[in-house]
Amino acid sequence: MTKEIKTFKLAKILAKFIQDEASDDEKEVVSNWLESSPSNKALFEKCKNEQNQRRRFSSYEKIDWQKDFYAFLNKKKRLEFKLKLYTTLKYAAALFIPIAFTAYFFFLSDNPFSFNKITVLTAGGNKATLTMADGRLIDLVSDTNKLYRERDGSRLVKGDGSLSYNTINMISQEKIADRTLKSIYNKLNVPRGGEWKLTLCDGTKVWVNAESSLSYPVSFVGNKRIVYLSGEAYFEVAENKEIPFIVVANKSEIEVLGTSFNVKAYKEDVNIATTLVEGSVKYKSKITNEEVILEPGEQGVMHAIQGYILKQKVDVSYYTVWKDGRFAFRKERLEDIMARLSKWYDIEVEFRGKGLKNKTFTGNLKRYDNLNQILEIMEENKLISFKVRKNRLILENYD
């Protein structure tokens, strides 16, 4: 086996090692090679340096790697006749490994753009399923139907990323007196990486965020309009002073007559937040029965275990702008930011570094940009460095 081929095989193993894809035997090869010489360690750091690789990628994409790589081999053989042996040995690895390393990714690797940040984490989009009261499960993206008929005869119209009832369907007061009537509930499920807009039978509009679900009645029956939320949603409630609108969300209850507000109540959240944009709401803890009245610009935060509620003044845009295609953060902990981003981009996040989760970031970013663009802004601000392994994001302290 020629020295060039051995070196190229080593470059391939180094590439796999940096991508966390090396076998135990390959890891041992890398370890032995690194320990054999300080210059090897320096060369390894140069090869894996992500900023260096990114600069190379921008200019290397246009190169005919197969042609130029073999041209390099031929040129090197001619040079060997002219150079002393010790000079060749000294500089061959330093010159050859980075070229072989890059060549492997660009014309031999099955997925050349899987290296480090070249894997693009795309934004979410319109995704949802609807479980109807009769048991039908509808994938709202793949299903070609645009019109669905409910058991009570009402019609549900599907648009681009939306569902709406084409008529306001409220049970009459005479029928409300009939206690045998029961609400028929559908359930809208929005997965990670999804969002959907729903217009209820009373005209109330609901924007449902990623990894969330909303159970709602086909027709509101009785003297209350009750829906059940898991996750996050923004509500614009149709006004009806006679029939209050109630959102039940993770041991909390929000009662309104007609208003706009955001509710964030994921099952893993320690704090359940209701943020009021306009109108007035009564926020109730179902644990302690404590109630607070929220005014526009206020947020009620309930502790999901102990049940107490804290009220505070906030800039509501930071909690509602997601429905308008933005992400807004103000001195927000990196762990909390990544919890939000991971739902939208459908990724797993791994923190590697002391104190990394508690670092804070402020920014107003586009929700539909790929995640790499957001991460690069954080990196430019020396907040983090990052690597991408398929759908796993690895965050480290910026060096």
- Percent of the chain, pLDDT > 90? 53
Say whether both 154 and 192 belong to one domain.
yes
Say whether both 103 and 145 belong to one domain.
no
Say whether both 67 and 170 belong to one domain.
no
Say whether both 237 and 359 belong to one domain.
no
Range of the domain at 379: 325-397
Residue type, 322: W
Rounded distance between C-alpha atoms, residue 370 and residue 194, angstroms: 14
Rounded distance between C-alpha atoms, residue 102 and residue 294, angstroms: 58
- Percent of the chain, pLDDT > 70? 75
Residues 157, 163: contact at Cβ < 8 Å? yes
pLDDT band at 4 (very low <50, low <70, confident <90, very high): low
Residues 133, 169: contact at Cβ < 8 Å? no
Res 340: pLDDT: 95
Torsion of CA 193, 197, 198, 202, to 10 degrees: 150
Q: What is the pLDDT of residues 133-156, one digit of tens each?
A: 888 999 999 999 999 988 777 889
Select from 83, 118, 153 the last residue of a domain.
118
312 contacts: CB under 8 Å, gap ≥ 6: 298, 299, 301
Say whether both 161 and 253 belong to one domain.
yes
Say whether both 45 and 163 belong to one domain.
no
Provide the CATH number for the domain around residue 348. Answer: 3.55.50.30
Q: What angle do CA 300, 212, 369 make, to 5 degrees?
A: 95
Say whether both 262 and 333 belong to one domain.
no
Q: Are strands 360-366 and 185-190 parallel, antiparallel or unpaired?
A: unpaired
Q: How many domains does the chain have?
A: 3
Say whether both 343 and 216 belong to one domain.
no
Res 241: pLDDT: 87
Provide the CATH number for the domain around residue 195. Answer: 2.60.120.1440
Q: What is the pLDDT of residues 212-258, one digit of tens each?
A: 999 999 988 888 999 999 999 999 999 998 899 999 999 999 999 88
> Quick one: 389 exposed, middle or buried, by C-beta within 10 A (0-12, 13-18, 19+)?
middle
Select from 63, 96, 118 the last residue of a domain.
118
Say whether both 162 and 243 belong to one domain.
yes
Nearest to 121 by CA among 379, 385, 375: 375
Say whether both 41 and 137 belong to one domain.
no
Select from 265, 291, 319 the last residue of a domain.
319
pLDDT band at 24 (very low <50, low <70, confident <90, very high): confident
CA 135 to chain centroid, in Å, comes to: 30
Rounded distance between C-alpha atoms, residue 205 and residue 201, angstroms: 9
Residues 310, 301: contact at Cβ < 8 Å? yes
Say whether both 252 and 331 belong to one domain.
no
Res 63: pLDDT: 46
Res 115: pLDDT: 44
Ordered alpha helix ranges (H), 104-176: 173-176
Say whether both 135 and 178 belong to one domain.
yes
